[in-house]
Structure 1
């Protein structure tokens, strides 16, 4: 699939969606964005607006601009790795995490809840682990950070509480590395990115690439520099820029190729089987959670808007990125921004995302 650059302003159908993004840029929700739409195996929209920063002389965003996709890494890399390993019979979703990472249970009491955390709990964000921990404030090495993650208390019995957990995906990434016997980033390049021709996507962009990547933040308190072309997430930064929860840089064409591979499951030479997609897109306990295995699904007031079917999957990234795939309608929408520039204060993205998705779906 080789999408062509199709400026949104050349198709009157997308005037409303374009207006949403233009107004968002004017309101400083983000300085620029790249976006794309896939429907029935065709790229209907592949365009961009705005600039890297609010400076009038800042480089313009192009449809192929590379972004720090933040937590979209969780589905594009870590969840996908789990899907493929399960599909190949190499990953048992019921396997206790402690069997792969003994440090997770060593030193805990015999009846510790940690012994009941299985891989599917990590994927479903129901492990009982906390949502977010500022490990980087106390640990300057990857070894120290991982050890601290392994020693976290389990705050609720596994399977009884849904709490979106970065530490859970950090540990999931390390567990997968035990199964594959190599770094997850190296495996992902060979088994995911290369087969899907996601040639722009990478971890830790080269110094020569950084100027073309929109900066995510003016960091005045941790790294004390502009964060551009390096992962924004501080914990991922300590983990050498790549982890199970964050670190991938990607662009609209690559993420649409990824979405197409999911929509075309079970076709000849497909990466996934339809059984794998069905399993990983199914909502998980506890009742009321919108989480599937690794993926999110539409819920009330969803960032996907009001037109995605219940059989849809997606994920957001903290820096202002998102991917939503409607498995029934065979539609995927990618929106990439750096909404955290120059700082993390603006929350306007929360209203922009559903409005943009609604405008696109209504145009289709």
Structure 2
């Protein structure tokens, strides 16, 4: 009996050792285990409730991982359950809107010869002399894209500040373009803090300006039929601001997004402003401060207060998308002519020359900025956040971050891109740790990519 028991213990030990060895071998065979651990660690350390991470090369998506849930346990206001983050989860992209929407629209107009980077915003063809007050007469399209127009960082007071005068501020019961004309008038009357081109100041006002500029080009060139505008646009037929917003939004929706879909082979069901209510349950919640209440939960409605007062459509914030939709754009920019699967698509969103024009750093003595995009140039720190992609991505990497915890990085030298989308502003926007996660994620990805190439050479 004792011998039999000993044999059972021995075989159990052999089995356990085999399991351990198999687990270790499996981990060693999974080069992405470390990357996955970083993304998961952001959930366990409560940097964010959930995250979506994608890495792509010219061969297509090589890593895709989803972690966490919409919240840390509460059921979001427009969901019936606290859903796991997955490929259909949509995120409030915050300032990624500056590149995925505004810069993409301007770049396509530029490629088609419809907008001049050196054009003065106050020219008759764009916003007119009404924009010239406050020292803005010399501001160009390029100045705004480089954040060198001379604007302060934000409007003062902010559009969401009740003292600004928008009805329902800081959070109206429903989204509307009712305050857009007031916001536009404030922009026209804005006084610059510095002469155009003199210095770099990251400014939401620059990209809000570019939304109106792009909308003017789209409207004046007849690029979008009136029938394609959002239904609410018809409520404000005499508002210049609303019409420019509406033509900008419609062009993104009917021209830019379809071009990205054709180039990438990915159908972007949700990629744009003001997601339809049927998709709200798929949105990762964010929070905002409204009246006397702190951390009001939002779902499917933009977290940025200034974008909210503009009806959810703005050049600086407001876009919602899935991780694959953002990856589709990154892939189309980095690998023109190749679909998200790695196979030829037969289409391009922007040609190589246009991509280089908009994603190449302009002057590192002023900033790390390209047109709309930022870069990973370590010679100029841009307050530190330009290096959030990680130290191991090349200085040529073009990238952007979003306040809600979003990031996209495209490395032309390394020939790969990363997408990391989170809702780090839930349940409060005062959370810490996202910067460390972003950098660790980028560096871990770069190590895997490099190791794979070295192994391929050997």
Moved over 4 A (4+): none
Correspondence list, 1:1-364, <5 A: 12-55=30-73, 58-99=82-123, 100-102=126-128, 104-105=130-131, 108=133, 113-133=135-155, 134-137=158-161, 138-140=164-166, 141-181=179-219, 183-197=247-261, 198-217=268-287, 219-221=289-291, 225-265=296-336, 268-285=346-363, 287-300=365-378, 302-364=387-449
Cα distance change, pair 340–306 in 1 and its aligned pair in 2 (3 A)? same
Q: 1 or 2, which has the higher helix percentage?
A: 2
Query: How far apart are the structure 1 equivalents of 2:291 and 2:434?
Result: 24
Shift of the alpha carbon at 1:200? 2.3
What secondary structure sits across from 1:358 in the alignment?
helix
Shift of the alpha carbon at 1:254? 0.9
Contact 1:139–1:145, Cα closer than 8 Å, also in 2: no
The unaligned stretches of length 5 or more in structure 1 are 1-8
Shift of the alpha carbon at 1:23? 2.1
Contact 1:72–1:322, Cα closer than 8 Å, also in 2: yes
What secondary structure sits across from 2:42 in the alignment?
helix
Instruction: Show CA shifts across 1:268-313 (max 9, x none).
Output: 5212111111111122247240110000000335000012112211
The unaligned stretches of length 5 or more in structure 2 are 1-26, 76-81, 167-178, 225-246, 262-267, 339-345, 379-383, 450-458
TM-score after normalising by structure 1: 0.91
Query: How far apart are the structure 1 equivalents of 2:213 and 2:74?
Result: 46
Cα distance change, pair 123–54 in 1 and its aligned pair in 2 (3 A)? same
What secondary structure sits across from 1:226 in the alignment?
strand
RMSD: 2.0
What secondary structure sits across from 1:48 in the alignment?
strand
Contact 2:397–2:411, Cα closer than 8 Å, also in 1: yes
Cα distance change, pair 11–56 in 1 and its aligned pair in 2 (3 A)? farther
Query: How far apart are the structure 1 equivalents of 2:427 and 2:74?
Result: 15
Contact 2:66–2:86, Cα closer than 8 Å, also in 1: yes
Task: Please name the residue that 2:232 is paired with.
Answer: none
Contact 2:88–2:282, Cα closer than 8 Å, also in 1: no
Cα distance change, pair 150–105 in 1 and its aligned pair in 2 (3 A)? closer
TM-score after normalising by structure 2: 0.73
Contact 1:136–1:145, Cα closer than 8 Å, also in 2: no
**Relative contact order: is structure 1 or structure 2 higher (C-alpha 8 Å, sep ≥ 6)?**
1
Instruction: Show CA shifts across 1:169-212 (max 9, x none).
Output: 00110011111106111101111111222232131112221122
Query: How far apart are the structure 2 equivalents of 1:276 and 1:206?
Result: 32
Query: How far apart are the structure 1 equivalents of 2:199 and 2:130?
Result: 19
Cα distance change, pair 218–168 in 1 and its aligned pair in 2 (3 A)? closer
Q: Which structure has the greater CA radius of gyration? A: 2
